[in-house]
Amino acid sequence: MRRLNRKKTLNLMKELDAFPKVPESYVETSASGGTVSLIAFTTIAFLTIMEFTVYRDTWMKYEYEVDKDFTSKLRINIDITVAMRCQYVGADVLDLAETMVASADGLIYEPVVFDLSPQQKEWQRMLQLIQSRLQEEHSLQDVIFKSAFKSASTALPPREDNSLQSPDACRIHGHLYVNKVAGNFHITVGKAIPHPRGHAHLAALVSHESYNFSHRIDHLSFGELIPGIINPLDGTEKIASDHNQMFQYFITIVPTKLHTYKISAETHQFSVTERERVINHAAGSHGVSGIFMKYDISSLMVTVTEEHMPFWQFLVRLCGIIGGIFSTTGILHGFGRFVAEVIFCRFRLRSYGSVSVPLPDGHTSNHLPLITDNSTH
């Protein structure tokens, strides 16, 4: 009884078989089928490798939302070298919302030599080349985001040669914390003197002949410091053509949350436009000589997330490749054989030409002779 039930179950399972097996004696192989199979297997192998490469790759996903954080402070990271002595220049931040000067206690004034060493010039040249490529290929920013990690550094390398030249410039570097509102970071002649209506710079003791606002921006960023990120103004160098010259940078800051497989940080991207002009009151060009960076903060926040293809999606795409190529090559091979058979059949029919049969009255018949039993004798 148990054997009978087991046999019925086995027969039922055989009836449910969706992949019936054809005996080998019924299978016909051909050279064309082998060629098509070889092409199919090669294509499957190539596409499988390409699909695995896509599976290993990642991409950046951008999401936009309103920035609701108004209470936190904005960090400004600064590393600027000005071609003037440190006692002649002063750096400050003017908060436009509260019309007050933010304290610049976080900045360090370091006397240095303005001219770079050969190694530093090579660093600056490479950084400027990257900046030019970033302006042309915006997708390179995704590569920078994915490759950024805290151990990498894009800072100016230290000077390798012991220059005997006396310092003729001032390196202003450090960081400041300001309110998240529009403001103006500026470097001009004289130290700042705060007063109730704003602020002023004590520049009376500095002669106009010593004005030289040629500068180099080694680093300028907003938010958390991420050494692997290259910012738009990194590596910028401006040479003043006149003593009384104003350099202006108009910056739009976008709060950014960066989440990759190597780092997770809250930073800020920014775009910048530049302008420079000579101060000449007689010609109607008014203003103050110096370096002015006017920044404004966008109300939108960007979340940049590094994503990866799920494994199940990779399997589905891989099955689609294998099944699709097998089905397509099978259809093409069957259609090709059908066309070949039709062409060869017509060729064979034409090879049998019409036969001329002489008639008793002298005429000929182009019809094939009728084969009878008597004709065989």
Q: 183, 180, 262: which is closest to 229 by C-alpha?
A: 262
Residue-level pLDDT at 99: 54
- Which backbone phi and psi does 273 adopt, to 5 degrees? -120, 145
Give Cβ neighbours of residue 54 (< 8 Å, ≥ 6 apart). Answer: 309
The confidence score (pLDDT) of residue 152 equals 56
Structure tokens at 268: 């800020």
Q: Running along the chain, 377 residues long, what does each successive block of 10 average in pLDDT? A: 71 69 69 80 89 85 85 88 89 73 72 88 86 73 66 70 79 88 87 66 70 91 83 90 90 89 84 88 80 91 87 90 85 80 72 54 51 47
- Are residues 102 and 178 in contact, defined by beta-carbon separation less than 8 angstroms? yes
Q: Are the beta carbons of 169 and 88 closer than 8 angstroms?
A: no
What does the block give as tokens for 2?
């148990």
- Match 């297997």 to its residue by tokens: 41
Per-domain boundaries in the chain: 68-298
Distance CA 135, CA 209 (A): 37
Which of 314, 318, 323, 269 shows the shortest CA–CA distance to 295? 269
Distance (Å) of CA 357 to CA 100, 260, 279, 368, 372: 121, 90, 115, 8, 15
CA-to-CA separations, 366 to 220, 277, 345, 362, in angstroms, rounded: 99, 103, 22, 13
Specify the pairing of strand 169-179 against strand 73-82. antiparallel
The whole-model pTM stands at 0.69
pLDDT at 249: 95
CA-angle at 366, arms to 365 and 371, nearest 5°: 85
Could you give the 3-state DSSP secondary structure of residue 206?
coil
